[in-house]
Amino acid sequence: MFLCFILFFLFCAGRLFFIQVFRSNYLAIIAKKQHNLFVELEPRRGTIYDSNLKPLAVNMQVDSLFACPNGMSFKDRETAAKKISAILGLNISQLRERLNRKKYFVWLARKITPQQSAEIRKLNIKGLDFIKESKRCYPDGYLASHVLGFAGLDNTGLEGLELYYDSYLKGEAGWAMFLRDARQKKLDLWEKMVLPKDGYDLVLTIDEVIQYIAERELDKAYRKYNAKGASIVVLDPRTGAVLALANRPTYDLNESTSVSRDIRRNRLITDMFEPGSVFKIVTASGALEEKKVDEKVKIFCENGAYKVSSHVLHDHRPHGWLTFREVIEQSSNIGTSKVAQMLGNDLLYKYIRLFGFGAKLGIDLPGEISGVARPPRFWSKVSVATIPMGHEIGVTTLQLAGEISIIANGGRLMKPYIVSEVRDKFGETIKQFSPVEINRVMSENTAERIKKILVGVIEEGTGKLAKVMGFDAAGKTGTAQKLEPNGRYSHNKYVASFIGFAPADEPLIAVAVTLDEPHPYYFGGVVAAPVFKGVANDAIRYLKTRQLPEEISVSHEINPVN
């Protein structure tokens, strides 16, 4: 008996020696894992403000639920799976799978509501705990949805400005090693910690008031004319700053996960279409700048039918002799085509490119396309007659806004931009964005002459429904047939558009409006012009109540055309 006892004692002593000497580090690591909890500390995502520092995108602190399966009994795991699945509406089998993992930390649900958090706390189940995380929230819901975009569950930008400026907004994560007691409860003590670096804030050129006005007027037309889609952009023509940008259909940014990609698409910069008569400004500007015509020269409009090669052009109503000014005011396809023939292929293409068509304007939003503007070597015999009236060319609504801004600001193509500055959480400016002139398109004299013609479009021509009481405005209507899959022009699908600026003498805003497949009415002067009127009427009066900067510093980029 004594010998057996001695042998057992020696075995225990040897085993203890082996554990202490050879297994000490391994067992210490296991103990540390049981009593330490590694947690990533999420940085505060930067706030997005409008130009008046009203928050458009903010963060809220919410609970995220995790479990420590290795510290839970089978009964606790089953109770947790059944009750949490009911509270959170999760699949019970998926919860069971997570709770049966041989781990000390498993996420069960991220960023739950305060009500859900309170119900789970009442259960008082061992092995469940919460970590505070930030959730992206959008106070205005639908407002400026295609500008702001949204961030995902991990606070990474997925659309719009949230994606484009994600590197500024996101910040850098930190971490902490928290202590836990013998029951695996987290203590408010930590061994080590690296604090997170918060993201920077964005201040936009978007004005919340003008954004609301633009969306209100666009929504009226979109619903009234049963359009497939609609877009509007409001620019400061002097700087290129975007004051408002919206699309229809739209969506609530707080419910972005349940919305289709088609609705989330920023069609204002991603969708291309033939512009129709709003494109006649390009031909008119080039002809005046190159001194091919003047406002009083008379052009015979063939009484509504004009054959060019094998193609016959028509006007929406027949015209005989019109002055050049009247050709634009009455939106004569035949008159415009004859002017383009005087200008010639090469000069016409030159001004198409100078106006920014066929190239990205460089707005700070993801997804912008360049459109299509083919060089003259790819033109057919009728292209010089059809391109001036807005056929055989693909544009975006943003490019149309750039086009009308050129006339409003005296002949300069400005780069559109949405973010005016980046700030840290203390309000210090990290980066500032200034107006950028891409290139000069025409002389101030030519721009002024075109401006007077476009005032006539609203006063005497096709844009009478855009007339604003109290001040003059300038603009141009457009109605373009859409192409069918077989390559022929549709007779029941149109894109209606209006581009304009106001006041005409000292423009404060430039507006481009497009409606896709409106019906039963589809003319730009009927469908889109009233949208411009509504926006200009309220936005101008609002802007006149604010003190505007007297001088604007403008930097220059290399002319992409040259």
DSSP secondary structure letters along 127-144: TEEEEEEEEEE-TTTTTT
Residue whose token pair is 């978007």 = 206
Rounded to two decimals, what is the model's pTM? 0.84
Joined tokens for residue 310:
């094998």
Share of the chain above pLDDT 90, in %: 57
User: For residues 180 and 305, what is the distance between their CA atoms, to the nearest angstrom?
Assistant: 87
For 235-251, the pLDDT digits (tens) are: 999 999 999 999 999 99
pLDDT at residue 180, rounded to an integer: 59
Band of the pLDDT at 53, cuts 50, 70, 90? very high
Exposed/middle/buried for 467, CB within 10 Å: 0-12, 13-18, 19+?
Answer: middle
Instruction: Kindly name the residue from 64, 231, 277, 420 that is annotated as catalytic.
Output: 277
Band of the pLDDT at 34, cuts 50, 70, 90? low
For residues 402-439, one letter each, b for 16 or more C-beta atoms within 10 angstroms of the residue's C-beta and e for the rest, the string is: bbbbbbbbbbbbbbbbbbbbbbeeeeeeeeebebbbbb
Does residue 435 have a cis peptide bond before it, meaning omega lies within 30 degrees of 0? Answer: no
Domains of the chain in start order, with CATH, are 38-88+98-202 (3.90.1310.10), 208-250+264-556 (3.40.710.10)
Q: CB under 8 Å, gap of 24 or more: what pairs does 464-467 form?
A: 464/525, 464/529, 465/525, 465/526, 465/529, 465/530, 465/533, 466/498, 466/500, 466/525, 466/529, 466/530, 466/532, 466/533, 466/536, 467/533
Which of 112-121, 350-359, 425-434 bottoms out in mean pLDDT, i.e. has the lowest?
112-121
Band of the pLDDT at 555, cuts 50, 70, 90? low
pLDDT at residue 396, rounded to an integer: 97
The C-alpha torsion from 529 through 406 and 336 to 487, rounded to 10°, is -70
For residues 170-209, one letter each, b for 16 or more C-beta atoms within 10 angstroms of the residue's C-beta and e for the rest, the string is: bbeeeebebebeeebebeeeeeeeeebebbbbbbbbbbbb
CA 279 from centre of chain? 24
For 391-416, the pLDDT digits (tens) are: 999 999 999 999 999 999 999 999 99
- Beta-bridge mates of residue 175: 40, 194
Q: Would residue 277 show up in a list of annotated catalytic residues for this protein?
A: yes
CA 311 from centre of chain? 40
Question: Residue 62: which of 105, 109, 128 has the closest Cα?
Answer: 109
For 310-356, the pLDDT digits (tens) are: 788 888 888 899 999 999 988 889 999 999 999 999 999 999 999 99
pLDDT at residue 561, rounded to an integer: 42
On whether the CB atoms of residues 299 and 545 are closer than 8 A, the answer is no
**pLDDT of 543 over the 70 cut:** yes
User: For residues 511 and 217, what is the distance between their CA atoms, to the nearest angstrom?
Assistant: 12
Joined tokens for residue 364:
């700070």
Start-to-end Cα distance in the chain: 104
